């Protein structure tokens, strides 16, 4: 297991740690001079401390120390030194919320080797700890996107992790984590992240040539193309189930290929099963999947994790995507919304409110005033997850919640420490993230009923989706949240045609 997953456990990437720790509830390691253990233990008890553990061979004890006891320990000549007893966490994998939400954890995927999912995207990090053991082949786009087994963009590796991250005590698990599902990767996106509609059909045909049953397309554009529509109609007639992202513009415009009748259009919902504000709402939306703050794999070492401590207390924080890797400490300085150089920030860490200008501009304005780090707090409920896009910044920056930011306004001048580190996993938003949940669920269900047709599996998914929003099908959720176990039960009871 790599170090990054210990970061998951101590940062916003996995567990929400309250920023309320004080000296009274901290645990310390007290190392005392030879033969002075009993005297130090007595002093600890007199001042309200609580011994937690003795480590005799090291002349030390672990103890919970209120402020009074901590001060007494530090002043006592029999104490060699005191330091915080730091938390350590199990280095284990995490199940992203979307996996049980689509009921993938209720079905075995041990028989999934009879299905192939083809992912048309930006590639696949073949060296990734959560992906390297899968049954995977690939093709590279002739337009020059590069090798299929590399991913300069990160998008394709994230999608692949949602479908098939392995159950290997590392990172995360996907919809089908046993490594039995066959994957074929067709790379059409390079680092710049776009391709042509002709390339998309060529890629889909490459999927078909490599035995694809399900095609995942976490991609799209806002104009239809006759050649493209005819291509997907043909693939549908040949028994292939094509699934695509509904779009991320948050309006009622159609997105393609998702809005062709022969393609399943997928909307995004959050962990509360509410439609994402960015998700397209059209009469072609068919199913919904988890697409908000989805945790999955990214190319090895390409992401950032963050930890933040202010006045000795941990504060839940997320690295701003694109921030440099660093560890810095300094006094906390209020820079409001940092719409100009924060001239009072020299040698300090800028506390900045979200709003009016981009995150990158805010950080650059902190830099311009001599700031050595930036903390941006949300102006709406929830933790702030942001990106600098293609703008280069030179100081570490993190996002925190609105409540966290308001609390820090009362701690200006306190010592703050920001640490950012490289990681192999990240949270992404988008109908792109919802799509592999549906594609994976479709392949998982189909693997139990391989004699069913693509149309029959599609009908079962629609018939058993969890109805959300308005009663019945609606433009935001389609037929609802895809449910793998419910679709399995439906086909088991009714047969492929829906009526035995």
- Please identify which of the residues 109, 121, 130, 270 carries the catalytic annotation: 121
* Residue whose tokens read 């390691």: 29
CA dihedral (210, 215, 219, 222) positive or negative: positive
Give the Cα separation of 349 and 400 in Å (integer). Answer: 14
CA distances 344 to 356, 362, 397, 435, Å, are: 20, 14, 18, 46
Q: HSE-up of 117 (CA within 13 Å, CB side)? A: 33
Active site residue 432: yes
CA distances 369 to 338, 363, 423, Å, are: 10, 10, 30
- Please identify which of the residues 279, 432, 437, 474 carries the catalytic annotation: 432
Buried-state track 404-421, b at ≥16 Cβ within 10 A, e below 16: bbebbeeeeeeebebbbb
HEC letters along the chain: CCCHHHHHHHCCCCCCCCCCCCHHHCEEEEEECCCCHHHHHHHHHHCCCEEEEEEHHHCEEEEECCHHHHHHHHHCCCEEEEEECCCCCCCCCECCCHHHHCCHHHCCCCCHHHCEEEEEECCCCCCCCCCCCCEEEEEECCCCCCCCCCCCCCHHHHHHHHHHCCCCCCCECCCCCCCCCEEEEEECCCCCCCCCHHHHHHHHHHHHHCCCCEEEECCCECCCCHHHHHHHHHHHHCCCEEEEECCCCCCCCCCECCCCCCEEEEEEECCCCCECCCCCCCCCEEEEEECCCEEEECCCCCEEEEEEEECCEEECCEECECCCCEEEEEEEEECCCCCCCCCCCCCCEEEEECECECHHHHHHHHHHCCCCEEEEECCCCCCCCCECCCCCCCCCEEEECHHHHHHHHHHCCCEEEEEEEEECEEEECCHHHHHHHHHHHHHHHHHHCCCCCHHHHHHHHHHHCECCCCCCCECCCECCECCHHHHHHHHHHHCCCCCC
Active site residue 121: yes
Give the Cα separation of 274 and 96 in Å (integer). Answer: 17
- Please identify which of the residues 10, 140, 141, 155 carries the catalytic annotation: 155
Active site residue 155: yes
C-beta neighbour count of 232 within 10 angstroms: 23
Vertex 379, ends 378 and 384: CA angle to 5°? 20
User: What are the residue numbers of the active site?
Assistant: 121, 155, 432
């Amino acid at each position: 297991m790599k170090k990054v997953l210990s970061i998951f456990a101590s940062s916003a990437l996995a567990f929400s740690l309250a920023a309320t720790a004080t000296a009274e509830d901290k645990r310390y390691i007290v190392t005392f001079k030879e033969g002075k253990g009993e005297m130090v233990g007595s002093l600890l008890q007199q001042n309200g401390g609580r011994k937690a553990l003795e480590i005799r061979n090291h002349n030390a004890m672990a103890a919970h120390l209120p402020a009074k006891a901590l001060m007494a320990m530090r002043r006592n000549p029999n104490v060699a030194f005191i330091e915080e007893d730091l938390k350590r966490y199990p280095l284990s994998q995490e199940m992203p919320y979307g996996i049980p939400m689509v009921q993938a954890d209720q079905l075995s995927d041990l028989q999934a080797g009879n299905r192939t999912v083809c992912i048309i995207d930006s590639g696949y990090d073949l060296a990734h700890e959560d992906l390297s053991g899968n049954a995977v082949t690939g093709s590279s786009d002739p337009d020059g996107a590069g090798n299929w087994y590399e991913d300069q963009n990160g998008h394709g590796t994230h999608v692949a992790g949602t479908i098939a991250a392995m159950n290997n005590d590392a990172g995360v698990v996907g919809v089908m984590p046993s490594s039995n599902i066959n994957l074929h990767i067709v790379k059409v996106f390079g680092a710049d992240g776009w391709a042509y509609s002709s390339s998309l059909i060529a890629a889909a045909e490459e999927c078909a040539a490599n035995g694809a049953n399900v095609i995942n397309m976490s991609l799209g554009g806002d104009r239809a193309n006759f050649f493209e529509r005819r291509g997907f109609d043909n693939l549908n007639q040949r028994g292939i189930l094509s699934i695509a992202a509904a779009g991320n513009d948050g309006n009622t415009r159609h997105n393609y290929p998702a809005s062709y009748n022969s393609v399943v259009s997928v909307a995004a919902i959050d962990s509360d099963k509410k439609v994402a504000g960015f998700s397209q709402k059209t009469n072609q939306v068919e199913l919904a999947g988890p697409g908000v703050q989805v945790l999955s794999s990214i190319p090895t070492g390409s992401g950032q994790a963050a930890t933040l401590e202010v006045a000795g207390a941990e504060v839940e924080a997320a690295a701003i995507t694109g921030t440099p890797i660093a560890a810095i400490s300094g006094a906390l300085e209020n820079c409001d919304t940092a719409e100009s150089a924060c001239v009072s920030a020299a040698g300090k860490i800028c506390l900045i409110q979200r709003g009016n200008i981009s995150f990158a501009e805010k950080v650059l304005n902190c830099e311009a005033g001599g700031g050595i780090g930036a903390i941006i707090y949300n102006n709406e409920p929830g933790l702030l997850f942001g990106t600098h896009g293609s703008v280069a910044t030179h100081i570490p920056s993190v996002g925190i919640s609105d409540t966290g930011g308001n609390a820090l306004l009362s701690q200006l001048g306190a010592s703050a420490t920001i640490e950012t580190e490289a990681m192999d996993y990240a949270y992404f938003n988008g109908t792109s993230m919802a799509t592999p949940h549906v594609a994976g669920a479709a392949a998982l269900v189909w693997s139990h009923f391989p004699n069913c047709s693509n149309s029959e599996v599609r009908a079962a998914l629609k018939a058993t989706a969890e109805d959300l929003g308005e009663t019945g099908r609606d433009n935001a959720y389609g037929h609802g949240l895809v449910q793998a176990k419910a679709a399995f039960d439906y086909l088991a009871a009714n047969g492929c045609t829906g009526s035995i």
